[in-house]
Structure 1
Amino acid sequence: MSTLLRLDQLVAGYAEAQVLNHVDLVLDAGQSLALLGRNGAGKTTLINTIVGVTTHHQGRIFLEDRDITDLRAEHRAAAGIGWVPQERNIFRSLSVEENLTVAARPGRWDLASIYSMFPRLGERRRNLGNQLSGGEQQMLAVGRALMLNPRLLLLDEPLEGLAPIIVDELLAVLRRVVTEEGLSAIIVEQKARKVLPLTDEAVVLNRGAVVLREQSETLLAHPEELESLLAV
C-alpha cells in the first residue's frame, strides 16, 4: 500500500499552548484508524491539526507526497481531506440540499448516493439545517464531508449524543464507506467497542503522545487492556 498521510514529529496546540507532543503517524491508502484515549488526551487536537485549524509549532504533515503543513484549512479540503467536526458545523440557515452542494466536488459521492444512504435527508432536502434533529444534523455533516469526495475522512466523535437507532444507522453507513468501499478514515470515538470493528488499527493517545498502536481486532479481543488504556 502507498502512504496517504504522514505526520512527522508533530507539535501543535492552541496559541502558545502545546497539546500534541512530537506525534509520528502513518496511514496507508485504504486504511482506517480508530483514534482513542481518555478525555483531554489530544484526540480532537490531532484531528484539528490535520485539518489545519490549530497552531502549528513543529513537525510536518504530508498528504501522499505533498507537504500540506503550511496550507490553509480550505486548501487542505481541496487537496482531499473531509472533516466531520464534533460540533457538526452545518449551515443552519441553508437547506439540506444547499448544505450538501455548497462545497461539493465531482466524484463517487453525489446527491443521489447521499440520499440513497441517508433517506431521511432526501425526505428533508428542502428543510433548513436548524429544522433538523441532532441525528439528522449528524447525517448531514457526514454527507457533506462525503460530497467533497475526499481521499481521507476525519470524524470526531460521530456517535456522541445520538439515540441508539441513529447510532446504528451511522455505524452502518461508516461500515459501508470505510470497510466495504475502502475510504481512508481516522475516527475519534469514546465508544471504542463501536468503532473498533470498523477499523484496521487503533492508536491510543495520552497527554498528546502516541502510547500504543495495535490491530483493532487485537484490542477487541483483550477488553481488560482496552479498559485499562481508556478507563472505560
Structure 2
Amino acid sequence: MNDLLSLRRVSAGYGDAVVISNIDVGLRQGESFAVLGRNGTGKTTLINTIVGVTRQKGGMIVLDGRDLTGARPETRAKAGIGWVPQERNIFKSLTVEENLTAVARPGPWTLARAYELFPRLRERRSNLGNQLSGGEQQMLAVARALVLNPRIMLLDEPTEGLAPIIIEELLAALTKVIREEGMSVIIVEQHAQKILGMTDRALILDRGTIVHSSSSKALMEDPTALEQHLGVTGGKKKRLGHPPL
C-alpha cells in the first residue's frame, strides 16, 4: 500500500539552524503515529515542517502523490493537512459555532458531528472563544481541524496543561476519531503512556533524528527504548507511570 504522507530525507529548522535531519517517515491511510522525545529534540519542528512553517533545508514532503515541498501552509491545508498547534489558534473573538462554520469544508465532518464528538462545545456554542476554559479551547481546536475534513491531522501536545478530567474526555474523542473513523493522525505528546494505546506506530526523536521506530504495541510491551532515550524507568508497561518526556 502506498503511503498517504511521505517524508523523504527531510531536514528543516528555523533561520540558519537545522533542527531535524534526514527524516524518513511514511504514514498510510488510516494509520496513526505517536512522536515521542525529550523537550528540544525536534518533535514540534517535525510537525511544523509538515505544515510548512519552518525553513526546509532538504528532502521531499509528499501527500497522496502530490509533492508539497516548498508549498505555502495554506496550500498544504487545502491539500488536506489539518493542524492542531500547541497555541490552539482559535478565533477568540468569535463564538464556538462561528469558529467552526468559518472554516468548515464539505465532507463527512459537519458541525453536527463535531458537537456529537464534543458535547461541551454544543453547550457552549454561543460562547466566545475567550470565554472557554483551556480544555474547551483545545476541544474547539480539534473540532476546527476536523470540520476542515483533512486527509491527515497533526496534533502537537494536545493534552498539555489540561485538567485530568478534560484529558480523559479529549483522549476518548481522539481514540474514536482514530479507531472508529479511521483518520490518519500524527500526535506529539509529552507522556508516552497517554497515546501509545491509541496509536499504531511510535517514533522517538533525539537531536533531530529518528532513533527508534516500532509499533506502539511493541514499545509498550518492551519500553527499553523509552528508558534509553527518554529516561523512563521501571522496565514494564504497567510501571511506566508519567515520565517527564
- TM-score scaled by structure 2? 0.93
What is the distance in 2 between the residues matched to 1:225 and 1:211? 9
Question: CA separation in 2, counterparts of 1:225 and 1:45?
Answer: 21
* Cross-structure match for 1:43: 43
Mind listing any 5+ residue stretches in structure 1 that lack a counterpart?
none
1:59 lines up with 2:59 in the alignment: yes
**Cross-structure match for 1:225:** 225
Corresponding residue SS for 2:71: coil
Partner of 2:9: 9
Give the letter aligned to residue 100 of structure 1.
L
Counterpart of 1:78 in structure 2 is: 78
1:98-117 matched pairs, under 5 angstroms: 98-117=98-117
1:70 positional shift: 1.6
Equivalents in 1 of 2:213, 2:107: separation in Å? 32
1:90 aligns with 90
**CA distance in structure 1 between the aligned counterparts of 2:226 and 2:57, rounded to whole angstroms:** 31
Residue identity in the other structure for 1:68: L
Q: After TM superposition, give the deviation of residue 103 of structure 1 in Å.
A: 1.6
Distance 2:119 2:49 in 1: 33
Q: Is the 8 A contact 2:212 2:225 kept in 1?
A: no
**Local SS of the residue matching 1:3:** coil
Q: CA deviation at 1:223?
A: 3.2
Provide, for residues 122-159 of structure 1, a one-character-per-residue CA deviation record: whole Å limited to 9, x for no partner: 11111110000000000000000001111100000001
Aligned runs of 1:1-232 on 2, under 5 Å? 1-231=1-231, 232=243
Corresponding pairs, count:
232
Matches of 2:227 and 2:141, distance apart in 1:
30
Task: Note the C-alpha offset of 1:225.
Answer: 3.5
- Contact kept, 8 Å, 1:220 with 1:226, in 2: the verdict is no
Counterpart-to-counterpart distance in 1, 2:164 and 2:2: 37
Distance verdict in 2 for CA 1:64–1:16, change over 3 Å: same
Q: CA–CA distance in 2 between the matches of 1:218 and 1:31?
A: 16
The answer on whether the counterparts of 2:60 and 2:69 sit within 8 Å (CA) in structure 1 is yes
Q: Check the 8 A contact 2:42/2:206 in 1, yes or no.
A: yes
Q: Please give the TM-score of this superposition, normalised by the length of structure 1.
A: 0.98
1:117, distance to aligned residue in structure 2 (A): 1.0
More deviation, 222-231/13-22: 222-231
Two-structure CA RMSD over aligned residues (Å): 0.9
Deviation, 1:213, is 0.5
Tell me, yes or no, if the aligned pair for 1:33 and 1:185 is still in contact at 8 Å. Answer: yes
Q: Match of 2:97, SS?
A: helix
Question: Residue type matched to 2:34 in 1?
Answer: A
Amino acid at match of 1:51: V
* Structure 1 ranges of 4+ moved more than 4 A: none
Displacement after TM superposition at 1:63 (Å): 0.2
* Aligned equivalents of 1:48, 1:41: Cα separation in 2: 13
Unpaired segments ≥5 residues, structure 2:
232-242
- Give the drift of 1:224: 4.3
